[in-house]
Amino acid sequence: MKILAIGDFHGKFSETLKKEAKNADLILCTGDFGGSDRFLKVIFKYFGEKWWEIVGIKKAKQYIFEDYNSGKKMINELDSLGKPVYTIMGNWDFNSKSNFERIAKLNLKKYQEIIRKTKNIKYWARGIKNVNGLNILAFGGMVTAKAYLEKGNRKEKVRKKFIRKNRKEVKQIMSYGDKNIDILFAHYPPYNFFDIVRFKGHNPMNGKHVGFEGYTKYIKKYQPKLFICGHMHEYQGIKRLGKTKIIATGAAHEGKAAIIEFDKGKVKKIKFIK
């Protein structure tokens, strides 16, 4: 079985990747469908502030709809390939838990609702499914990055809130236990693997670890065959933690993805599209 692992479209889906998708038996998508360079620059420039009040609601709406509509377009293009797709949400997607600063009070149809009306894409929040004979654990959406837990990166009251949130998330991922998992896939990378921000431009997280400790703990204890992640556009490749191969797919908006071939439950080949 040939799996295409892909994510971080941010509004771009090349013909090369579409061709690879058509040759796959299954597509696992790590989320982040939409994208707007203008919107991203504004978010980073006014990080932690009420940016929509600073730039004005008219411009704010333009930026948000540019981002939102590009994501809808990616979902439709992915569905049109006619291949079975399982997707989780990324941190940049418009979902039921989108941060207030991402939507600026606009009432938008959530991406989950759009996906549920497609023919070929299955929305998967978190949990275990057996897909084509493989036990796959998905853990989608936003999780608490390691950098948010460190002193000095946030106001102390906010940092403590993140610590409480992190504990719940770690407890949840560990609760799935040893289920002989073939693939664990998520949007964020594990802590200490493909997770140091190397963003070209202004990013308040530059140089910091933004991976999730819960994934690292789960991998160390239960050793799934593969861990697949996106989020970090800076990285593409394989690292090992024990018997687990950790795969950073690379960003689809840069024409990158990973092809994984399974045969009789074993990983036979991993190839990166660059």
Give the chain's length.
274
| Percent residues over pLDDT 70 in the chain | 96
Angle between helices 213-222 and 156-175 (to 10 degrees): 30
Is it the case that residue 44 has pLDDT exceeding 90?
A: no
Instruction: With beta carbons less than 8 A apart as the criterion, state whether 119 and 60 touch.
Output: no
Give the model's pLDDT for residue 103.
Answer: 72
Which band of pLDDT confidence, cut at 50, 70 and 90, is reported for residue 58? Answer: confident
Q: Which of 40-44, 54-58, 254-258 shows the highest mean pLDDT?
A: 254-258
The domains located in the chain, with CATH, are 2-273 (3.60.21.10)
Instruction: Indicate the average pLDDT of the chain.
Output: 92
Is it the case that residue 227 has pLDDT exceeding 60?
A: yes
Please tell me which residue, 28 or 39, carries the higher pLDDT value.
Answer: 28
